[in-house]
Amino acid sequence: MTPAAAHTFFEDTKLNDLVTSPAMTVTEAHLSLYSGLTGDAAVEPGAVAELLPLCLSIGLGWRVPQPPLAVLAFMSMDWQIVRALHVGDTVYGTSRVVSRRTMREGGIVIEDHEIIDQRGETVQRGRFTFLVARRPA
């Protein structure tokens, strides 16, 4: 096994802890790279492809002091797009553990996520369910 980097294991997760990411400006470059890679586009004319901020916010979640969650599997998500984003908007993300449940292989962790723009308005929000590893013995 490759030496394990620091991770947040199931035992380390705490209910209601709010984690706030740094912010990032969504640029034309993000949009072109994303559209070229995935073939996806905004349904709303002139807006940023609706799933792009979600993809970027996951990465922003890696740029916080807390070590990344030791995810075994991303199981499901519910997601709402509250308003459109445009190139030049600056977003950050927040996440909060709302439920944790022990399983045989680890634990189920449910997190509420929000993406917030430079005006402080929530642009997207939802809930992720992860299967998370236990701390190795």
Partner 1 sequence: MLSYAGMTPSGRRYFEEIEVGEEFESPGRTVTETDIVLFAGLSGDYNVLHTDAEFMKKSIFGERIAHGLLGLAIQSGLFYRTGRVFATLAFVGLKWKFKGPIKIGDTIRLRTRVASKRETGKTDRGLVVVERTVLNQRDEVVQEGETELMVERRPA
Judged by the rule CB under 8 A, the positions of this chain that interact with partner 1 are 1-2, 5, 30, 33-34, 37-41, 43-44, 49-52, 54-56, 58-60, 62-63, 68, 71, 73-81, 84, 126
In whole angstroms, how close is the CB of 13 to partner 1 at the nearest point?
Answer: 16
Of 11 and 129, which CB lies nearer to partner 1 in the complex structure? 129
**Nearest alpha carbon to residue 31 among 55, 43, 46, 49:** 49
The alpha carbons of the chain give a radius of gyration, in whole angstroms, of 16
In whole angstroms, how close is the CB of 78 to partner 1 at the nearest point?
Answer: 5
Distance of CA 46 to the CA centre of its chain: 24
In whole angstroms, how close is the CB of 136 to partner 1 at the nearest point?
Answer: 13
**Nearest alpha carbon to residue 88 among 11, 20, 14, 29:** 29
Inter-residue contact 124 to 81 (CB < 8 Å): yes
Of 15 and 80, which CB lies nearer to partner 1 in the complex structure? 80
Of 2 and 16, which CB lies nearer to partner 1 in the complex structure? 2
Helix (H) or strand (E) holding 39: none
In whole angstroms, how close is the CB of 11 to partner 1 at the nearest point?
Answer: 19
